[in-house]
Chains A and B, each alone.
Chain A
Amino acid sequence: MTFHRLVATVFTSLLIAACSSSGTRVVLLPQADGRPSAVVVRANGGEEILGKPYQRATASRNSTGAPVVDQADPARIEAENRSLFDLMPPPPQRYTLYFDAGETALTPESQVTLSEALAAAAARNGGEIVVTGHTDTMGTLERNDDLSRRRAQEVRQMFAERGFPAGRIQAIGRGERNLLIPTPDEVAEPRNRRVTIEVR
């Protein structure tokens, strides 16, 4: 679980209103984890970068020059765009599964985790499960992509057998591209041989 927080998110959150009569307004929203982000707004041949939360760029239909930037009032932005805040899906939940060495069977702890993930996905509106397989650095990139995909497909099957709609489960192989424990190439590392689950 901690691992996911570490690699987490340089994501950008923004709000855009396009009004055909007056133009476009773009507001940069703060990130949930407080990290900085930015957007660039281009209009009429000019551009402005919004780099602080609640900065707003206004590109008017009939004006010339770059968008006009000002600071929006957070409370007003929320009040005027209630549904954009009410309907934002909750952040994804993440889980990690481990296998018994050299087996396709999950460890007992991971069996419990699987059930938790399933319950979380079932509780969501239009819930989906993204299963991602990872390997250690033993073997070639291609072989590991394939291996990790097959392991993800096995877990996908476990969710489907427990009744979750197969069409809403994705199985992805990331091979050795996302090591939990960084190692040089050709290093056996059981903690890198894992399957991560994202419920969204």
Chain B
Amino acid sequence: MNHRIPTLLCILALASGAVFAQATATPPELQAGTIKSVRGDVQLLSASGTQRPASPGDVLMPIDRVLTGTDSAASVVLRDGTMMVVGPSSRLDIKEFHFDATTQDGGLLVSLLRGSMRMITGLIGKKQPDAVRIETQTATIGIRGTDFIVQADAQP
């Protein structure tokens, strides 16, 4: 009996902790963005390995993976206003997202492992184009502002 009460308390504490974690929203400054629309089968895979079907209004965290089935797609708006659409049969990782809404400094790294995506860059890309990168298995894509110099050396 003596040791039961602490155990019970412990379980209660754990349980209420879990409920609490679900009930309180993640602090907005840690979120990456919000799912806007979903067509067909779209799953979100979190860093901890839990998978859940996506629906409009869902919060997207940095390191989340977006998985779409055939004939499926989803759109996302990141906190800096970057808009993305993930096309059918795709696997897209938000590998890195941080954004200070006051200074508008931040960084975004997206990895498209397969499938297709469309992106309209937001405030991070506007302030610091270098801080936005998209990678695939064969290429890395960077953003250039409108003000840039191109230096082309003759190719051997």
- A→B interface (CB under 8 Å): 9-20, 23-24, 26, 29, 35-44, 49, 51, 57, 59-61, 66-67, 81, 83-89, 92, 124-128, 132, 145, 149, 165, 167-168, 170, 172-175, 177, 198, 200
Shortest beta-carbon distance from B73 to chain A in Å: 4
Q: Which of B56, B59, B112 contacts A16 (CB 8 A)?
A: B112
Give A132's nearest chain B residue, CB to CB: B101
Interface residues of B in 111-132 (CB under 8 A from A): 112-122, 125-126, 129
Contact A18–B136 (Cβ < 8 Å): yes
| Contact A36 B37, CB 8 Å, known A10-B126, A67-B139 | no
Contact A20–B116 (Cβ < 8 Å): no
Interface residues of B in 79-125 (CB under 8 A from A): 79, 81, 83, 85, 87-88, 101-103, 112-122, 125
Complex formed: what's the CA distance from A16 to B87 in Å? 10
Interface residues of B in 122-156 (CB under 8 A from A): 122, 125-126, 129, 134, 136-146, 148, 150, 155
Contact B117–A16 (Cβ < 8 Å): yes
For A66, the chain B residues whose CB sits under 8 A away are 155
- Give me 8 other A-B pairs in contact (C-beta within 8 A), A17-B116, A37-B143 excluded: A12-B129, A13-B120, A13-B121, A14-B118, A16-B136, A18-B112, A24-B137, A87-B85
Contact B36–A125 (Cβ < 8 Å): yes
For A18, the chain B residues whose CB sits under 8 A away are 112-116, 136-138
For B88, the chain A residues whose CB sits under 8 A away are 83
Contact B138–A170 (Cβ < 8 Å): no
Shortest beta-carbon distance from B106 to chain A in Å: 13
Contact A17–B58 (Cβ < 8 Å): no
Complex formed: what's the CA distance from A173 to B77 in Å? 20
Residue B25 at the chain A interface, CB threshold 8 Å = yes
A-B contact pairs, 29 of them (CB 8 A): A11-B121, A14-B118, A18-B115, A24-B136, A24-B137, A26-B139, A37-B143, A37-B145, A38-B143, A39-B141, A41-B141, A42-B141, A51-B144, A51-B150, A67-B139, A86-B73, A87-B36, A88-B75, A88-B85, A89-B83, A125-B56, A126-B36, A126-B37, A126-B58, A127-B57, A132-B101, A149-B102, A172-B101, A172-B102
Interface residues on B, range: 35 or more
For B85, the chain A residues whose CB sits under 8 A away are 83-85, 87-88
Contact A10–B146 (Cβ < 8 Å): yes
Q: Mark B43-58, 1 if CB is under 8 A from A, else 0.
A: 0000000000000111
Closest 4 CB pairs of A and B: A126-B56, A83-B73, A38-B144, A126-B57
Residue B74 at the chain A interface, CB threshold 8 Å = yes
Contact A9–B126 (Cβ < 8 Å): yes
For B113, the chain A residues whose CB sits under 8 A away are 18
Complex formed: what's the CA distance from A172 to B116 in Å? 33
Contact A11–B139 (Cβ < 8 Å): no
Q: Mark B21-35, 1 if CB is under 8 A from A, else 0.
A: 000010010000011
Contact A37–B139 (Cβ < 8 Å): no
For B145, the chain A residues whose CB sits under 8 A away are 10, 37
